Structure 1
Amino acid sequence: MAVKKIVAVTNCPAGIAHTYMVAEAISEKAKSLGYEVHVETQGASGVEDRLTPEQIKEADYVILALGKGMTDEDKARFNGKKVVELPVSDALKHIETLFDDIDDKAHVFETSGLKLGADQAAVKEGVMSYLMAGVSGALPFVIGGGLMLAIGSLMVQFGMANTALDAAKDIQPSLAWVVSQIGTLGFTFMIPIMGAYIAMAIGDKPAFAPAFIATYLANSPDLLGTETGAGFLGAIILGLSVGYFVKYFKKIRLGKNFQSVLGYLIIPFVTLLVFGLLTYYLIGPFSGWLMQALLTFLQNIPTSMKVIGGFVVGCMLAFDMGGPVNKAAWFFGFSLLSSHVYIWYGIVGVVTLMPPMAAAIACWIRPKLFTQQERAAAPSAMVVGMTVATEPAIPYALAAPVPMIAANVLSGGIAGALSILFNIERTAPGIGIFDPLLGLIHPWYAYYPVLAVGLILNVVFIIWFKSAWVKHEEKKQAQKAA
């Protein structure tokens, strides 16, 4: 009997945790069934283990576990193949049954239709999916820029000069100043890139350049004559508007003489003309006013309300561990970085570490509450959790959703409130627990105690809630047996 051959592609909005966890899960499950498997990951580092034309041609089935969709051009590789497409989070949850009745789940992909089956809308469509595509594009700019700014700041703190360039006085810049300026460029381009990737997620490549330029314009107060730039609100408005404009523009049929230049010449030019003028006269000033109003509100709300907001954001971050609620709270904090508002992203630096680390510690303290598989995964959950990837906590939550999610949410909310109370700021994404050492979290002396309190509470709640849950389940099983 011939060995069944599987190829798969995995991606997720941030391109960090789900992408690789699902790739590993698919690979291990397929191999356990005796299948030949090849998995392509589209993560933060780009495309790795790219599927070859031969692998795709020989494959019996294609699995697309997607969190941010794929371009039409990328999907075209699988024309005529039997394809199973599902959200990346579902692939992780249902990995044990993913290959059951796979022929019934699969649909033959036709390039002209650009539809892969019933799950297509769940993966590709949705505003949050588009926004997270924007975040995925902006992340490298913020991470690189944030680390450069941190290095520049450390150089000054260690006594190096911070001399700016002054060509008129023939003053050459110092190294620390140059490093900081390079880092600043990362934050300068963060928002235009976000707008461009949002647009491209909807309208594909022709939407990228118009959205980038229009969003850059909206964030240029000197050009617009506004008090402030449009910030992430401008990126959202322009990214979505340009994306949908291009999406429907592409449906126009101009005849074979002009159709070939539609995508790379006509659409980008017309879109830039329309949205360039709209941005200058309308969208830019309006978005700038809206952004200024939001920043003024966030700066002037009383501390008590900020603490309540911190509790809510912390609860959201801990609720579904990389799911839509988590991503909404994460996006809010991340998007404010370009406006130099760092306290809401400070909550992310605390709360997102807690669920996987707490699950691992609880495993070691009360191993009888967890299965052998969960105990074996504890070291990995601890290490990965320390680097701000909440997803390793998902298997623990799936096994006992009520106690685990309740423990995570309650402790996450408390930690979020404490983070606001102690004014913890995170200036850029980094590597989790080590961020204060890199100069990305301030004040460091408040960060670690708040994290420790949140982590201790999370572990206590897990043991407390899960012990009660296990007793309840045992009692229910005993009643059924009787």
Structure 2
Amino acid sequence: MTACPTGIAHTYMAAEKLVQAAGALGVDMKVETQGSIGAENILSDNDVREADGIIVAADKDVDLSRFIGKRVLKVGVAEGIRHPEQLIERVGGAPIHGVEGADSAPAATGASGAGVGSGAGGGSGVGGSGGRERSVAYKALMNGVSYMIPFVVVGGLLIAVSLALGGHATPEGYAIPEGSFWESVFKIGEIGFQLMVPILSGYIAYAIADRPALVPGMIGGWIANTGALYDSEAGAGFIGAIVTGFLAGYLVSWIKKVEVPRFAQPIMPIIVIPIVATSALGLFFIYVIGKPIAWVFEHLTSWLSGMTGTSAVLLGAILGLMIAFDMGGPVNKTAFLFGAGLIASGNQTVMGMCAAAIPVMPLGQGLATLIRRRLYSEQERETGMAALFMGFFGISEGAIPFAAARPAQVIPANMLGGAVAGALAGLAGVKDAVPHGGPIVAVLGAVGGVPVFFLAILAGTLVTALTTNALIGVKERGTGRTSIVPVPAQAGAPVDAGVAVHARGVEEAALVERATLAEPAPAGARKGEVPDGGAPGGATRGGDAVPVAGEGSEGQGAGAGAGARTEALAEAGPGAEPGPESEVLSGHLTARTVKVRLEATSKDAAIREMAAMLATTGKVTDVEGLVRAAFAREQQGTTGLGEEIAVPHAKTDAVTAPVVGFARAPEGVEWGSPDGTKARLIFMITVPEAAAGDEHLRILSLLSRKLTNAEFRGRLLAAPDEASVLRVLAEIA
């Protein structure tokens, strides 16, 4: 099985390489590929039953439950491209998946970063290829955050809209009339907020230990967020959810190692493990973790009460720090309830300090995504826009996805911005007559000292945004990366604990995974049929893979027909006006989008040059937008495939239709390819966000397979002009 979270190239190249290696070694192999166009050449129950071993060459999480009892070798997809023969030789000694302690140890990664791991079902660690691996804990946290984001956005926006259209300021707070339509909308939004914490916890646990950990993780998260269960006026919030998620995941992983009689094995994952883990985790949180949380809440309140006579600037800074720390957790709630409680006694300045700090976190994180967009994934930028909207209405939870994804950078930045806002509000004696915060309370007339109130919010927001981006930049320079994408695309399958995953695939942002190329999944090496390079249903034996239908043989069949279609262009010469006969790859690549000599000498310059070339088709409405999208993809991981190939790609509304470009760089461009080679054959692939159908993905999957053929690459390099290049590429049409 081969799979990759971004695009199609690695997936299908790995599949093709494995098939070729199996043929050379006289081994029968069937390869299932999993990617954006879905699973192809799916391994049937009979395939799995008859297989001597399963090779999983994947940079994303795949469901391994169907391989229980089989030898499973798990590596990064780059290993499938670079060392397919070694994988086939090693699979016979791989651990048996799902048996006793075979899945417990974390994956050990080699110097180059790929590895064979274990976890919810895996093996023991073996070094491999690739880059620096992300830890299982990081992957699990990102999995939880990615599932939590929709709940934050939907819940926050529904609450904001209901407050804006149906709410009004009252002495008790910003309220919506009972029984009104907008109260119903508000309650629906509240449900989203109530669910986001257990969702975060549940999917962290699920990523570590698979389905048996989902229930204890979610219930543990609900308990963490329900302070009444452990005598606290405030729950532990998202920080508590992160704690319960990891506790649930590793607790379930430990329980799964316990040896039980064979008759009890079927009920372990659906009855025994969830019940035992949920009970143990729930009671542990209520009686062990919950008590300190309640103690913190109580003593912080007493401590703040003793500070009311001190410096207003100092008190405002402290309240701002507390408001920004955990956004709904016990520290935040302590500060908020302290300020709200003093309103009744006539002291509205303390609530004014809190009100200025409350919107700073979502506004600051939203602004940060606008200031340095290249540091953030598309999903994060979208979340940032929602956070800006929530911040205006004083909904601090809009910043939680950012804090959960990058706690070391975001939480300190939030706290610094909150302290600035609170201190400025305290210095100016800003008053708030209602227990609510954000610009909305000033708009509705509940704030005294409106100009300074807005100035405090603006200052805090700027400090938060600039500090966040600065800390991210420091981290990136320290790790040698150009950027990070912390909120990945939502994983449909768990992150197997201990599986070493290639760094390019860990930050599998939703944008690029859906945006372009599909990637394969585990390959089952068995005594049976050999497929045609990973395409569904195909089979072959020996060293030469049979071409996929529509892919064409070398110089004949489909290739010859395609060559005839470009004959007229060849006669007319490179400068001929493109027409139907000069279009290949289903018309996505034409004579306009071929350049036999790229002028650029760096990756960024090459992307810009190719984007300008694609713009000549009339299908690019925003060249800079296309360039930014391509850069964002590169920040997630290099699109250099090795063997002198690079496939930069993007999914963006800067194009109106799928368009593909090809250029040659005779001297090569440094692209960070896993094998260290410079890119000489560069394909740029762009599709619009709303691209309909999967035809272009299928065409591109054929392209990636074809590029594994050294003779094909040689003819591309040797083609003297655009017409010759088109004739070679037409073999894939």
TM-score using structure 2 length:
0.37
Q: 1:235 is matched by which residue type in structure 2?
A: A
Corresponding residue SS for 1:394? coil
Q: 2:75 is matched by which residue type in structure 1?
A: L
> How far did residue 213 of structure 1 move?
0.6
In structure 1, distance between residues paired with 2:259 and 2:222: 31
Q: 1:171 is matched by which residue type in structure 2?
A: G
The answer for the alignment partner of 1:311 in structure 2 is 470
> How far did residue 241 of structure 1 move?
2.0
Deviations 1:380-413 (A, max 9, x none): 994893796555651359899xxxxxxxxxxxxx
Higher helix residue share:
1
The answer for the alignment partner of 1:132 in structure 2 is 139
The answer for the alignment partner of 1:326 in structure 2 is 484
- Asked if structure 1 preserves the Cα contact closer than 8 Å seen for 2:140 and 2:208, the reply is no
The answer for the alignment partner of 1:86 in structure 2 is 75
Moved more, 241-250 or 103-112: 103-112
The answer for the alignment partner of 1:395 in structure 2 is 639
> How far did residue 225 of structure 1 move?
4.2
The answer for the alignment partner of 1:39 in structure 2 is 32
Please point out which of 236, 240, 243 is paired with 2:242: 236
Corresponding residue SS for 2:484? helix
Percent of counterpart pairs with the same letter? Answer: 18
- Asked if structure 1 preserves the Cα contact closer than 8 Å seen for 2:14 and 2:80, the reply is yes
Corresponding residue SS for 2:235? coil
Corresponding residue SS for 2:600? helix
Corresponding residue SS for 1:63? strand
Q: 2:146 is matched by which residue type in structure 1?
A: L
In structure 2, distance between residues paired with 1:394 and 1:127: 16
- Asked if structure 1 preserves the Cα contact closer than 8 Å seen for 2:159 and 2:186, the reply is yes
Q: Kindly report which structure 2 residues correspond to 1:285-434, keeping only aligned pairs within 5 A, or say none.
A: 286=292, 291=326, 292=330, 297-300=415-418, 307-316=466-475, 326=484, 367-369=599-601, 382=626, 385=629, 389-390=633-634, 394-395=638-639
- Asked if structure 1 preserves the Cα contact closer than 8 Å seen for 2:198 and 2:222, the reply is yes
TM-score using structure 1 length:
0.53
- Asked if structure 2 preserves the Cα contact closer than 8 Å seen for 1:234 and 1:287, the reply is no
> How far did residue 218 of structure 1 move?
0.4
**Does 2:179 align with 1:171?**
yes
**Does 2:78 align with 1:52?**
no
Corresponding residue SS for 1:369? coil
In structure 2, distance between residues paired with 1:72 and 1:313: 35
**Does 2:18 align with 1:26?**
no
Q: 2:150 is matched by which residue type in structure 1?
A: I
- Asked if structure 2 preserves the Cα contact closer than 8 Å seen for 1:199 and 1:243, the reply is yes
Task: Check 1:148–1:271 CA distance in 2 against 1; reply closer, same or farther (3 A cut).
Answer: closer
> How far did residue 195 of structure 1 move?
1.9
**Does 2:278 align with 1:272?**
yes
Task: Check 1:370–1:52 CA distance in 2 against 1; reply closer, same or farther (3 A cut).
Answer: farther
RMSD: 5.6
Q: 1:233 is matched by which residue type in structure 2?
A: I
The answer for the alignment partner of 2:338 in structure 1 is none
**Does 2:227 align with 1:221?**
yes
Task: Check 1:399–1:31 CA distance in 2 against 1; reply closer, same or farther (3 A cut).
Answer: closer
Task: Check 1:326–1:102 CA distance in 2 against 1; reply closer, same or farther (3 A cut).
Answer: same
The answer for the alignment partner of 1:121 in structure 2 is 117
In structure 1, distance between residues paired with 2:473 and 2:261: 54
In structure 1, distance between residues paired with 2:293 and 2:62: 29
Please point out which of 143, 147, 166 is paired with 2:150: 143
The answer for the alignment partner of 1:251 in structure 2 is 257
In structure 1, distance between residues paired with 2:653 and 2:235: 32
> How far did residue 210 of structure 1 move?
1.6
Deviations 1:199-247 (A, max 9, x none): 2344443322122111111012344443543233223322222222232
Task: Check 1:234–1:52 CA distance in 2 against 1; reply closer, same or farther (3 A cut).
Answer: same
> How far did residue 107 of structure 1 move?
3.9
In structure 1, distance between residues paired with 2:261 and 2:118: 34
Deviations 1:164-199 (A, max 9, x none): xxxx9872424xx65665455444323322322332
- Asked if structure 2 preserves the Cα contact closer than 8 Å seen for 1:142 and 1:187, the reply is no
In structure 2, distance between residues paired with 1:28 and 1:147: 42
Deviations 1:449-480 (A, max 9, x none): xxxxxxxxxxxxxxxx98xxxxxx99xxxxxx
Please point out which of 84, 91, 106 is paired with 2:91: 106
**Does 2:3 align with 1:10?**
yes
Task: Check 1:397–1:316 CA distance in 2 against 1; reply closer, same or farther (3 A cut).
Answer: farther
Please point out which of 31, 55, 62 is paired with 1:63: 55
In structure 2, distance between residues paired with 1:396 and 1:85: 22
In structure 2, distance between residues paired with 1:433 and 1:317: 28
Stretches of structure 1 lacking an aligned partner (at least 5 in a row): 1-7, 12-16, 332-347, 357-363, 401-430, 435-464, 467-472, 475-482
Task: Check 1:395–1:212 CA distance in 2 against 1; reply closer, same or farther (3 A cut).
Answer: same
In structure 1, distance between residues paired with 2:186 and 2:477: 34
In structure 2, distance between residues paired with 1:60 and 1:256: 23
The answer for the alignment partner of 1:453 in structure 2 is none
In structure 2, distance between residues paired with 1:154 and 1:386: 34
Deviations 1:84-110 (A, max 9, x none): 4213xxx34x66424254433434442
Corresponding residue SS for 1:190? helix
Corresponding residue SS for 2:68? helix
